[in-house]
């Protein structure tokens, strides 16, 4: 073991010794098991104090290079070669699912799947929740865009509550629905679904109860479920929500609000009777429960004017009203509105600020001009007879099998709500129709408990062209008959009303 000491150097002697021995060990010149000279002997050889050698050896021990062994002295330890460092350290995949809120676990993406399938040109979609794309008022909007000069107003922020001229136009539109409101009482939303979301976030905490019709709009179910709410479904008859059941459930659950679609209900197509609307309001007043009235389909009416909103009957400010232009015009137009009591409106404004701040300014200006030019009324005059014609053609085909597929004729909206024979499994029917290039919406997605609704389907009659509508219905009817025959039975309660 060669150790040289420079007594003129600034480095302490013990560190010089430790450093040189360290270098010889790491280079392999002093292998594992080599015994260093005893402290006294090395001190005598180098003419230094024993204490200096002890300090040098202690330094080596601290580095793990040597070890003092009884009976042997100071011994070089085995040096482990470290594993080579990879060029890129391994990174484990992010495990997202444990991080999600547990309330998200029960949410599925049935709508996304249906929208994806419906966008495939070869697929005949009776699942859509939209009107006929061939009837979109493209020419009117193109004309208005050409006529409207682009100003700073188009490119600037809009007030959170919405572009004031559009709020004026919406208040005029509501006059046609016999609901008198001012622009200041109207708030523009990114579609009426945003209003459902705001109501859920403003009122619901985990465990709170909310009343819905059963069945009901599937996105409302998802929204309420995402807040952790307990969703209480109330069965319907041909006049709407059954109030005898509702009264008992209000007493039991003390819900935060009642969600209803009184006009051309989604998915059943039922329109709540006037007597039922008045009685529902009386129950709300008696139990002090707000009503969230969702009215997206009211203008799609074939036999009458827009049915009177429950909000128009409300003398005490219990009703929060939601509506949209997406159904009558086109779904990409995410403009809806709410009319609500002042205290509710203040909370909705706060929620709007923290979500998307305001609805797209240019879209609001464009729609305002569309309404002021009288285009909306003319558009309704154009589409309603065509939608009615499609409804009647679809009803004619379904009536041929009404003993097996009973339904009620809707007076407006987009949908037939049909009951399947009990012998027809929903999954097999979906698969059989899908194999033939036709999709529909199964009824179970419209129920708070998806185990319900197994024998119901929602069929849209507005989206497809007439020839494809008939073709899709024939695929559906033949598939139902085939599965019913395979199971060797017929539906026991034939002729029974589809809503019980």
Does 230 lie in the same domain as 215?
yes
Q: What is the pLDDT along the chain (500 residues), one digit of tens a residue?
A: 788 888 888 788 888 888 888 888 888 888 888 888 898 888 888 889 888 889 988 988 988 888 888 888 899 888 765 556 566 667 778 777 777 777 766 666 655 555 555 455 689 999 999 999 999 999 999 999 999 988 888 889 999 999 999 999 999 999 999 999 999 999 999 999 999 999 999 999 999 999 999 999 999 999 999 999 999 999 999 999 999 999 999 999 999 999 999 999 999 999 999 999 999 999 999 999 999 999 999 999 998 889 999 999 999 999 999 999 999 999 998 999 999 999 999 999 999 999 999 999 999 999 999 999 999 999 999 999 999 999 999 999 999 876 679 999 999 999 999 999 999 999 999 999 999 999 999 999 999 987 789 999 999 999 999 999 999 999 999 999 999 988 755 444 443 334 44
Does 396 lie in the same domain as 265?
no
Domain end residue (candidates: 339, 373, 407): 373
Check residue 86 and give its pLDDT: 61
pTM, rounded to two decimals? 0.79
Expressed as residue numbers, the domain containing 40 is: 13-76
CATH of the domain at 347: 3.40.640.10
Does 335 lie in the same domain as 414?
no
- In this structure, the number of other CB atoms found within 10 A of the CB of residue 314 comes to 20
Domain end residue (candidates: 76, 92, 119): 76
Does 417 lie in the same domain as 333?
no
Those residues with Cβ within 8 angstroms of residue 404's Cβ, 6 or more apart along the chain or in another chain: 421, 480, 481, 484, 490, 491, 494
Domain-embedded: residue 105: no
Q: Choose among 252, 308, 302, 304: nearest CA to 281.
A: 308
Does 399 lie in the same domain as 364?
no
Check residue 90 and give its pLDDT: 73
CATH of the domain at 63: 1.10.10.10
Check residue 490 and give its pLDDT: 47
Domain-embedded: residue 36: yes
Does 186 lie in the same domain as 58?
no
Check residue 392 and give its pLDDT: 97
Sign of CA dihedral 388, 389, 394, 397: positive
How far is the C-alpha of 347 from the C-alpha of 174, rounded, in Å? 23
Check residue 30 and give its pLDDT: 87
**What total of structural domains would you count in the chain?**
3
Domain-embedded: residue 243: yes
Does 335 lie in the same domain as 191?
yes
Check residue 494 and give its pLDDT: 42
Domain-embedded: residue 81: no
Domain end residue (candidates: 56, 76, 96): 76
Domain-embedded: residue 90: no
CB 271 within 8 A of CB 265: yes
Q: Choose among 420, 464, 424: nearest CA to 443.
A: 420
Does 350 lie in the same domain as 443?
no
Does 392 lie in the same domain as 360?
no
Check residue 487 and give its pLDDT: 77
Domain-embedded: residue 318: yes
Domain-embedded: residue 194: yes
Does 23 lie in the same domain as 53?
yes
CATH of the domain at 482: 3.90.1150.10
Does 396 lie in the same domain as 331?
no
Does 353 lie in the same domain as 278?
yes
Q: Tell me, rounded to whole angstroms, the distance of Cα 402 from its chain centroid.
A: 35
Domain-embedded: residue 326: yes
């Amino acid at each position: 073991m060669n150790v040289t000491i420079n007594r003129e150097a600034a480095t302490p002697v013990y560190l010089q010794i430790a450093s040189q021995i360290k270098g010889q060990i790491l280079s392999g010149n002093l292998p594992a098991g080599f015994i260093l000279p005893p402290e006294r002997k090395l001190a005598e050889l180098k003419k230094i104090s024993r204490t200096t050698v002890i300090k040098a050896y202690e330094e080596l021990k601290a580095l793990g290079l040597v070890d003092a062994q009884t009976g042997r002295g100071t011994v070089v330890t085995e040096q482990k070669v470290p594993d080579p460092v990879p060029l890129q350290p391994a990174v484990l995949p992010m495990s997202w699912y444990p991080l999600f809120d547990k309330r998200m676990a029960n949410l599925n993406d049935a709508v996304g799947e249906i929208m994806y399938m419906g966008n495939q040109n070869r697929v005949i979609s009776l699942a859509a929740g939209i009107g006929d794309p061939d009837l979109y008022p493209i020419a009117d909007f193109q004309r208005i865009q050409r006529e409207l000069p682009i100003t700073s107003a188009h490119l600037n922020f809009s007030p959170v509550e919405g572009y004031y001229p559009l709020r004026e136009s919406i208040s005029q539109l509501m006059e046609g629905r016999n609901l008198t409101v001012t622009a200041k009482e109207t708030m523009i939303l990114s579609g009426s679904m945003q209003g459902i979301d705001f109501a859920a976030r403003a009122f619901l905490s985990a465990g709170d109860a909310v009343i819905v019709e059963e069945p009901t709009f599937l996105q409302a179910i998802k929204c309420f479920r995402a807040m952790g709410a307990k969703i209480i479904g109330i069965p319907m008859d041909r006049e709407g929500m059954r109030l005898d059941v509702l009264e008992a459930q209000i007493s039991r659950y003390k819900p935060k609000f009642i969600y209803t679609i009184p006009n051309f209900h989604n998915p059943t197509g039922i329109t709540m009777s006037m007597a039922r609307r008045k009685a529902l309001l009386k129950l709300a007043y008696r139990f002090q429960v707000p009503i969230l009235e969702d009215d997206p389909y009211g203008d799609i009416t074939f036999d009458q004017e827009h049915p009177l909103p429950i909000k128009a009957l409300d003398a005490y400010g219990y009703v929060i009203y939601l509506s949209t232009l997406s159904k009558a015009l086109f779904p990409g137009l995410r403009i809806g509105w709410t009319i609500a009591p002042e205290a509710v409106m203040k909370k909705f404004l706060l929620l709007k600020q923290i979500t998307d701040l305001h609805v797209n300014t240019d879209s609001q200006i464009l729609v305002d001009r569309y309404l002021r030019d009288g285009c909306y009324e003319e558009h309704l005059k154009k589409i309603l007879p065509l939608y009615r014609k499609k409804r009647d053609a679809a009803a004619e085909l379904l009536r041929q099998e009404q003993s097996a597929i009973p339904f009620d004729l809707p007076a407006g909206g987009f949908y037939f709500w049909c009951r399947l024979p009990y012998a027809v499994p929903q999954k097999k029917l979906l698969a059989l129709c899908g194999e033939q290039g036709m999709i529909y919406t199964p009824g179970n997605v419209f129920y708070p408990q998806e185990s319900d609704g197994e024998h119901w389907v929602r069929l849209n009659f507005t989206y497809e062209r007439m020839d494809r509508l008939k073709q899709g219905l024939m695929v559906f009817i033949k598939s139902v008959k085939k599965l019913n025959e395979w199971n060797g039975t017929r539906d026991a309660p034939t002729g029974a009303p589809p809503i019980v």
